[in-house]
Amino acid sequence: MELLLQIIPIFLLLIISIIIIIIFSPKRWAQGRKKPGRQLAPAPGWRLPVIGHLHHFLTSRQPPHRLLRELSRKHGDVIRLELGEISHVLISSAEAAMEVMRTHDVKFAQRPPHPHYEKVVYGGMDLIQAPYGDYWRQLRRIATLELLTAKRVRSLRRVREAEVRTLVASIAASSPGATIDLTRMLFSFTYSVTTTYVMYRIISMSTFGDVSRGQEEFIKVAEKLVEYAGGFKVAYLFPSNALVQMLSGTEEFLDGIQKVVDGLAESMIEQHQARRAAQEGKSRAEEEEEDLLDVLLNLQENDTTLGFRLSTDAVKGFLLDIFLAGSETPAALIEWTMSELIKNPEVMYKAQSEVRRVFGGKGRVEEAGICELAYLKLVIKETLRLHTPAPLVLPRECREECRISGYDIPLKTRILVNAWAIARDPRYWGEEAEKFMPERFLNNKVSFRGGDFEFLPFGAGRRMCPGMTFGLAAAELPLASLLFHFDWELPRGVEPTSFNMDEKFGVTLRRENHLELIPVVRYNPLPSI
């Protein structure tokens, strides 16, 4: 509906001409753009003038990933979609996804341009949006060998444990029997964790009040940015149409977001540089452990192996990627896991029993013992399957013409892999593919680490998410703590069978409505704080 409201002002004057063209040239628009000798993927029916196949979205109330599943069920695992000015190919099978992300991975390693959004990410200087090539490879090396290593994840354990203690204490302090907005608390928690990852040396200098205020501001703009970056906004689909760009207000909208993002990043960098200048000359023994921004600034100042100097915009781009991916994914994962558990009380009971058996004698959950929570890990895998963090992965662009499943893929075609649909496909998951059933993974060695294409919560290939370990670490401890310290109830009048599980589509998949639950303290965390 939102998309329709955006498009109506632009195309009202074209309605009469569109009707005339449809009446007198139906075959032309049904066939679409096809060059002789090419075997293009089938299209879902009529391709209308100007908007192409966008009418499917305008007439549907379903979020894009669900609508696209319906289209693929009718027209095939590989279909062609002309959406506005942009040619897309939709992939809806594990076999075709493997061709894109493994067989021809390098040919699809490019990110498509994103109007105005690139300004927010500093002209594509960040890792997520950077064009494929030497610069991107060096950014990837920084991420995998410097920022997101397993050693780095372990070194930040005390940050996660401290923030989790604060989270469970705030829940325990709520009025008995009162409903809490768990969604708000979870997203605030994950952004707080990420803020501390990035600049805990500054926070330790008693500036947390300013940091916290900036964090709240960033959470607000991040939600808007995540929704916009989903890729189905009108301005995204008509990049060369100046009228569309003007009437959509996209440039002004993203300029406002960029101003907030850049201001926060600039403030973080300035505070770090001031502290570093004050500590100049001190020995390493006198300094505290590096936070993530220190790592980036050290690389900017001292690394001569990159082949280029890491620019300040690149540092800011890294910060934005870390905040968005490092906060959105774990918060949404915990939110969806708690939603499934409250809807499936028998699974909730099993998960709580395990956590309380392992940690009951300690009074709180410790990260060192998370490895003993075998059933909880199955619960998390099943949540990742049913609620894929990025339902359409992140779009890729064809760099070199090739064939997928026997169809020609033209240059510059944008590829959408519907990982959400593949993860619910009965061909791979059986007749109960839509059921939340963690036990399905007991004797199933399918992994989410990019080698099994029926399960792609973090993507695969060169563009696979490098922060998977970081994201899981930020989700497992708080989730286990919520299950250990509290029993959970639905608000009065709401039953598990009628519990709302509607989705809000974006580059990550959130709940449409905030998750509101009633916590009942089982192991009081307050004395241990």
Q: Which residue has the tokens 């909730």?
A: 348
C-alpha 89/C-alpha 415 separation (Å) is 5
Contact residues for 313 (Cβ-Cβ < 8 A; gap 6+): 122, 123, 125
Residue 209 clears pLDDT 70, i.e. is over it: no
> Order of strands across the sheet with 78-83?
78-83, 86-91, 414-417, 396-397
Which residues participate in the annotated binding site?
465
CATH number of the domain enclosing 294: 1.10.630.10
Residue 21 clears pLDDT 50, i.e. is over it: no
Q: Is 484:364 a contact under the CB 8 Å cutoff?
A: yes
Residue 208 clears pLDDT 80, i.e. is over it: no
- What is the rounded (10 degree) CA torsion for 476, 392, 422, 65? 110
Report residue 53: phi and psi, to 5°.
Answer: -95, 15
Residues 37, 42, 48, 51, CA torsion sign: negative
Helix (H) or strand (E) segment spanning residue 10: helix 2-11
pLDDT value of position 51: 93
Print the domain residue range for 493. 2-528
55-100: pLDDT as tens digits: 999 899 999 999 999 999 999 999 999 999 999 999 999 999 999 9
Q: Count of domains in the chain?
A: 1
Give the chain's radius of gyration (CA, Å): 24
Tell me the pLDDT band of 201, cut-offs 50, 70 and 90.
low
Q: Which residue has the tokens 């998309």?
A: 3
* Among 295, 302, 294, 304, CA closest to 274: 294
Residue 291 clears pLDDT 50, i.e. is over it: yes
Which residues participate in the annotated binding site for heme?
465
Structure token pair of residue 252? 């002004």
Report residue 80: phi and psi, to 5°.
Answer: -105, 135
Residue 263 clears pLDDT 50, i.e. is over it: yes
Q: Is 193:160 a contact under the CB 8 Å cutoff?
A: yes
Q: Which amino acid is at 449?
A: R
Q: What is the DSSP letter of 496?
A: G
Least confident of 16-20, 249-253, 416-420, 521-525: 16-20
Q: What is the DSSP letter of 289?
A: P
Name residue 517's beta-bridge partners.
180
Structure token pair of residue 73? 């069920």
* Among 392, 290, 383, 260, CA closest to 330: 383
**CB-based burial of residue 202 (10 Å sphere; 0-12 exposed, 13-18 middle, 19+ buried)?**
buried
370-412: pLDDT as tens digits: 999 999 999 999 999 999 999 999 999 999 999 999 999 999 9
Mean pLDDT of the 116-141 span: 89
Q: Which residue has the tokens 């990110």?
A: 111
**Torsional class of 448: left (φ above 0), alpha (ψ -120 to 50), beta (otherwise):** alpha
Q: Is 324:225 a contact under the CB 8 Å cutoff?
A: yes
Least confident of 115-129, 167-181, 447-461: 115-129
